[in-house]
Amino acid sequence: MPDTSSLPDLDRRRILLGVTGSIAAYKAAVLVRLLTKSGAEVQVLMTEGASRFISPLTLGTLSEREVLTDIFPDGPATDEGSWTKHVDLGLWADLLVVAPATAQTLAKLTHGFCDSMLTATALSARCPLMVCPAMDRDMYTHPSTQRNLETLRADGHIVMPAAHGELASGLVGQGRMPEPDAIVERVATELADRPYAADRDDHNTPPDETPSSRKPNDSMAGREVLVTAGPTQEPLDPVRMLTNPSTGTMGFEVAREAARRGASVTLVAGPTSLDTPPGVNRVDVRTTEEMHAAVQQRRTDVDLVVMAAAVADYTPVDPSDSKRKKDEEELVLHLRRTPDILETLGKHKRAGQTLVGFALETDDGPENARRKIDRKSLDWIVLNNPSESGAGFGTTTNRVTLFHRDGYSEALPLQSKRAVARALLDRVTRPVPTTQDAS
């Protein structure tokens, strides 16, 4: 059982857990336990196949709810458990998580099959659907499975990629179900800004949470947006590099939100393990030079640029083609400045284009942020302080202050990076408030 001391808070959350017929179904017991320990209510929906791997009694006991499998009730339709239960469940939940999700169930979910309590509920659910695939390596990499996962993503569903490692077949590769604690973390992140199903009374309202209508608005339709995210890597030799701990989360959330609002979004991403947000055109790069080239190529067409990448300021002058030997007691590295991507954009800024930079400052944040607005000809800069808890690198939350070139500033509260992305886009796409310093 993983460590439960650092579990996220899922109090009052209602989770539907779909369990399907993979050997990884045994991990569903731990998953139910972690979810309930986090405060969530859990309703398990199992396929017939899953019950060959783990008993409904086990999952029912851990979740303290009867496990549901069949879409048709045993008794007459007037009994508890009538045939409309899948609709009620879909309304009841905050999130439907399918873990493990077999290739078979993924295919059914992709194509709208409706032959079990799990698939029928998925089809009628207004809450988001998150799938955690688990299968053998070759089944996972098969074009059909990958196509299905891509379709699910494009439909607005959440796909947690399978993990790499030993598989039940004896093969090694990608196909393992992500660990239960990682799934619980992801559940918490996905739900961070969503209203609670428990607070809604929408049994009679028309569906407004189907994936296709989950876009909050289309206020950015017709706009071209360029976002950069993640770290860059500057090679010293084939196996070593200069880099930083950026995960890319902030920029990915900005790209996700802009696409949700209807913008045409290009995301230039440094090395990161994040999934491409739905509807976003992603360009992967490694070094600052590569990021610079990718951005310059697109700069004239874009209306809004958000440079959230943690770009390396220096790169080794002479990276070695072969692994450096440790012959010297001391090693002096010769570095040169990398191009300032944002400053170059600022120099060629066209009318109507909005440039947003990020500043990560440990000292004199506001002064440095304002200086960067001037030096790089920015419209906005987003200041965060990596030494503050819950802000900066590697966290799912952030606390930032926005500064506008005209002097306006606004301090936002500590919130998820998704909420920061929404607030940021709200601010930079609307007229600047005239009141000075809302902080």
Residue ranges that bind ligand C5P, judged by CB under 6 A: 288, 307, 309, 311, 313, 338, 340-342, 357-359, 372
Task: Choose between 59 and 360: whose C-beta lies nearer to ligand C5P.
Answer: 360
Nearest-approach distance from CB 18 to ligand C5P, in angstroms:
40
Q: Smallest Cα–Cα separation from 287: which of 300, 306, 272, 270?
A: 270
Q: Tokens for 71?
A: 């879409």
Catalytic residues: 244
Task: Choose between 55 and 344: whose C-beta lies nearer to ligand C5P.
Answer: 344
Task: Choose between 34 and 402: whose C-beta lies nearer to ligand C5P.
Answer: 402
- According to DSSP, the residues that pair with 380 across neighbouring strands are 356, 404
Between CA 129 and CA 109 the distance in angstroms is 10
Nearest-approach distance from CB 251 to ligand C5P, in angstroms:
9
CB 122 within 8 A of CB 129: yes
Between CA 109 and CA 18 the distance in angstroms is 12
Helices (H) and strands (E) counted in the chain, each on its own, are 14, 21
Burial class (CB in 10 A: 0-12, 13-18, 19+), 73: middle
CB 144 within 8 A of CB 107: yes
Nearest-approach distance from CB 254 to ligand C5P, in angstroms:
11
Task: Choose between 148 and 243: whose C-beta lies nearer to ligand C5P.
Answer: 243
Nearest-approach distance from CB 233 to ligand C5P, in angstroms:
14
Nearest-approach distance from CB 352 to ligand C5P, in angstroms:
20
- According to DSSP, the residues that pair with 228 across neighbouring strands are 268, 307
HSE of 423 in the Cβ direction (CA atoms, 13 Å)? 19
Length of the chain: 439
Measure the CA angle with vertex 423, ends 419 and 428; round to 5°: 145
Q: How far is CA 400 from CA 35, 359, 366, 397, 416, in A?
A: 30, 10, 11, 10, 11
- Residues with Cβ within 8 Å of 367's Cβ and at least 6 positions away in sequence, in order, are none
Nearest-approach distance from CB 217 to ligand C5P, in angstroms:
26
Between CA 295 and CA 174 the distance in angstroms is 32
Nearest-approach distance from CB 278 to ligand C5P, in angstroms:
24
